[in-house]
Structure 1
Amino acid sequence: MLKNFLARFGKGAAKVDLRFENRPYFTGDIVTGEVHIQGGEVEQKINNLSVRLMMNVTTKEGKVTREVTSIPLAGAGVISAKELRVIPFTYTIPLNLPVSRHKVSYYFDTQLDIDGGFDRTDVDYLMVDVQKPVRAIFQALEHLGFREKANSGKLDKYGQEFAFSPTGMFSGQVNEVELRFAYEDTGVYVWMEVDCRQGYQEIEAKREFFLENLVLQYETQLVKLLQQYITEAVENPYMYEQPFSYKSNSAYHGTHGSFLNGMVGGLAIGILGNMLLSEIMDSLGEMTENAAEVFGFEEDAFEENDFEDDGDDGGFFDFGDDGGFDGGDD
C-alpha cells in the first residue's frame, strides 16, 4: 500500500530512458535507438509513450521552446514491478529542418504517461547539421579565408541564412558573405550575397548559381569557382543588384517543387513559423513594438503582413552580430 502511494508521487515509479548514438546528425539522417522503460517497485499502467523533438531558439528577449513533432511509440499497457521493456525508436530528420547553430538547438523529450501517477520524462540533446554538399561549400569558403559568424543561422520566412566574414584574401574588400541553399537531386542551388566595400559605401551584390554534385566532390574546383563568383561581385557589384529569386513564389522551382520545400531551413515557416510568430508575441510581451524588435521587423510590418526583407534587418530570429561562430577572427 505504501509503495503504491509513493509511486504516485514518483518514488519507486517506472522510469524511461531514450538511448541512441550520441553524435552529430545531418538533415535527412535516420536516428535509430531504443526507449528503455524500467518498472518500479509496483505494477503500474502506462497510458502513453511518445518522443517529442523540441526546438530551442534564443532571441534578443530570451529563449523560446516549441515542439517540432511528436513521435508516438508502442508501449502502453501494464508494466510489472522491476520489468524492463525495450521499445525501438526511429526518426528521419527532415531535409529542410533548420540546422543547429549557436542559438538554435534541439532535444528529444521522451514522455512516459503513467496512469494516476507522476509522469516521467527524459531529455536528450540532438545536434543537426547541413548535409555533405553544403558542408563542402563551407569548407571551400574556409580555404578562401572566410569564417562562419556567431549570428550565422538566422531564421526567417524563407529558411535559414548562413553568414561568413573574411579573414584572408578578401579582407578589406568584403564585409560579409551570406548564403542560402536548396537541395536538388543533382546538386545544390545557391543564393549568395556579397557585401562589397566601395569606399565608404557597402554594395550588396547578389549572385545565384547551381553547383552540380560532381563539382561539390572536388574541393579544388569548388574553391576556384567560389573565388571567381566572389571576385566578380567585388570587381563589379552594380551588375548584381537584382533581387533574389527566392523572394518570388514562382521564380524558383526545383525538383522538390516550391522553393521552400527544398530550401535549407524552410521547415521553420512551414511548421513553426506562424505558430512562433503569434506565440512569441504573446509570451514576450503585449506591446507590438517589443515583439517587432524580437523578429527584426518594424511594427507596421506585422500590421500589413509584409515581411519583405530588402535590407540586412534580420529575420524572425535576428541574433545580432556578436563575432565568430567558432571564436575565430572576424
Structure 2
Amino acid sequence: MWKKLLSKFGIGAAKVDLVLHHSHVRLGKILEGEFWLEGGTVAQQIRKLEVALELEVHVQGKSYRRTVAIIPVASSFTIQPGERKTLPFSYQLPLHLPISRSMVRYTFVTRLDIAGGADAYDRDTIEILPPTVLEQIFAAFAELGFREKPTSGRITPYGQEFSFFPTGEFHGLVQEVEFFALVEEEGVRLHMEVDVRHGFGKERELKRELFIPIEQLRDSSAAARLIRETVEETVQAAGAFSTFGGQPLATPSSPMYRHSASHYPSAHHSHHGRHGWTGAVGGFAAGMLAGMIAEELLDDVVEDVMDDVADGLDVGDWFDGGDGFDGGDWL
C-alpha cells in the first residue's frame, strides 16, 4: 500500500529513457534509437508512450517554443515491478523544418503516461543537419573564404536565411552575403543579397538570383566558381572601388546591374508550380511547419513577436500550407 502511494507521486515509479543512435540527423533522413523502460516498485498501467519533437527559436533574448510533431509509440500496457522493456524508435524528419543553428534548436521530449500516477519524462537534444546539397553550398562559400556568421540561420517571413562574411578575396569589398536556398529537381536556386562596400563607409545592397545545377554542386570548385562570378558581377554593378587601383570596376549603368526586390521569394508565391516554394531548404512560407502545428497556436506566437520583436521573427507566413518535396530531390 505504501509503495503504491509513493508511486503516485513518482517515487519508485516506472522510468523511461530514449537512447538515440546518433544525436544528429540530416534533414529528411531517419533518426533511430531505443526506449529503455524500467518498472518501479509496483506494477503500473501505462496509458501511452509518446515522443514530442519541440522546436525552440531564439530571437533577441526571447525564446519561442512550439511542438512540431507528436510521435505515438505504444499504448495500454502494464509494466511489472523491476521489469525492463526495450522498444525500437524510428522517425523520419520532415523536409520543411529549419536546420539547427544557434537560434534554432530541437528537443525530443519522451512521455510515459502512467495511469493514476506522475508521468515519467526524458529529454534529448538533437541537431538537424542541412541536406547534402546545402552543405555543398556552404562548402563552396568556404572555398571562397566566406565564413558563416553567428546569426546565420535566423527565421524570417521568407524562411531560413543564411549569412556569410568574407575573409579572403572579397574582404574589403563585400560586407556580407545573405541567401535563401530553394531546392529544385535540377539543382539549387539561391536568392542572394550582397552588401557591397561603396565609397567611404557606405554600403549598397543588391539582390541576385543564382541557379547552381546538381553537376556543379558535386564539385565544390565548380560551385565556388559560379558564386564567385555572381559576387564579382554584383561588386562591379555596385560601382565599388578596386582595392588595387582605386578606380570603379563598373558603373550602375552596367548591363549586369540589377537592384530589384523581385529577386526575393514571395511569401505568397503559388506552391503548385514546378518552382513553388515548398522545396525550400529550411522551409519557405509554403512549407514552413505546414500541417504540423495546430493553427490555433499561431495567434499566440504572432502576438508575442509583434509585442517583443520589431523586425525579427515573423511567423505569420509559416502556415501557408503546401506539399513537401520527394526525398529524392534532396540528394
Q: Give per-residue Cα distances to partners, 1:226-278, cap 9 Å, x unaligned.
A: 111110111013522122251264478764x6314434233446356976653
Letter in 2 for 1:88: P
Look up the match of 2:300: 279
Letter in 1 for 2:59: T
Count of aligned positions: 293
The residue correspondences of 1:178-257 to structure 2 (distance < 5 A) are: 178-199=178-199, 200-237=201-238, 238=252, 239-243=257-261, 244-247=263-266, 249-250=268-269, 255=274
Look up the match of 1:72: 72
Instruction: Extract unaligned runs of 5+ from structure 1.
Output: 285-290, 298-313, 318-330
User: 1:296 and 2:296 equivalent?
Assistant: no
Asked if the contact 1:148/1:164 (under 8 Å) is kept, the reply is yes
Mapped to 2, the partners of 1:118 and 1:3 lie a distance apart of 14
Q: Give per-residue Cα distances to partners, 1:143-176, cap 9 Å, x unaligned.
A: 2111111111111222100001111111111111
User: 1:155 and 2:174 equivalent?
Assistant: no
Look up the match of 1:258: 276
TM-score by length of 1: 0.82
Mapped to 2, the partners of 1:158 and 1:249 lie a distance apart of 9
Mapped to 2, the partners of 1:153 and 1:183 lie a distance apart of 16
Asked if the contact 1:7/1:117 (under 8 Å) is kept, the reply is yes
Instruction: Return closer, same or farther for 1:208/1:73 CA change in 2, 3 Å cut-off.
Output: same
Q: In structure 2, the residue corresponding to 1:247 is in which secondary structure?
A: coil
Q: In structure 1, the residue corresponding to 2:265 is in which secondary structure?
A: helix
Mapped to 1, the partners of 2:152 and 2:108 lie a distance apart of 24
Look up the match of 1:176: 176
User: 1:94 and 2:125 equivalent?
Assistant: no
Letter in 2 for 1:316: D
Q: Higher helix fraction: Structure 1 or Structure 2?
A: 1
Q: Give per-residue Cα distances to partners, 1:22-48, cap 9 Å, x unaligned.
A: 342111110111212211111000011
The CA deviation at 1:296 is 3.3
Look up the match of 1:3: 3
TM-score by length of 2: 0.81
Instruction: Extract unaligned runs of 5+ from structure 2.
Output: 239-251, 316-331
Mapped to 2, the partners of 1:53 and 1:99 lie a distance apart of 14
Q: Give per-residue Cα distances to partners, 1:65-102, cap 9 Å, x unaligned.
A: 21011001124221111122222211111122101111
Look up the match of 1:316: 314
Mapped to 2, the partners of 1:171 and 1:263 lie a distance apart of 27
The residue correspondences of 1:38-57 to structure 2 (distance < 5 A) are: 38-57=38-57
The CA deviation at 1:210 is 1.7
Instruction: Return closer, same or farther for 1:292/1:66 CA change in 2, 3 Å cut-off.
Output: same
Instruction: Return closer, same or farther for 1:260/1:201 CA change in 2, 3 Å cut-off.
Output: farther
Instruction: Return closer, same or farther for 1:293/1:254 CA change in 2, 3 Å cut-off.
Output: same
Q: Percent of pairs identical after alignment?
A: 35
Q: In structure 1, the residue corresponding to 2:197 is in which secondary structure?
A: strand
Letter in 2 for 1:197: R
Asked if the contact 1:55/1:107 (under 8 Å) is kept, the reply is yes
Asked if the contact 1:294/1:316 (under 8 Å) is kept, the reply is no
Mapped to 1, the partners of 2:265 and 2:302 lie a distance apart of 26
Mapped to 2, the partners of 1:203 and 1:253 lie a distance apart of 34
Moved more, 33-42 or 244-253: 244-253
Letter in 2 for 1:158: Y
Asked if the contact 2:270/2:276 (under 8 Å) is kept, the reply is no
The CA deviation at 1:139 is 1.3
Asked if the contact 1:27/1:99 (under 8 Å) is kept, the reply is yes
Letter in 2 for 1:91: Y
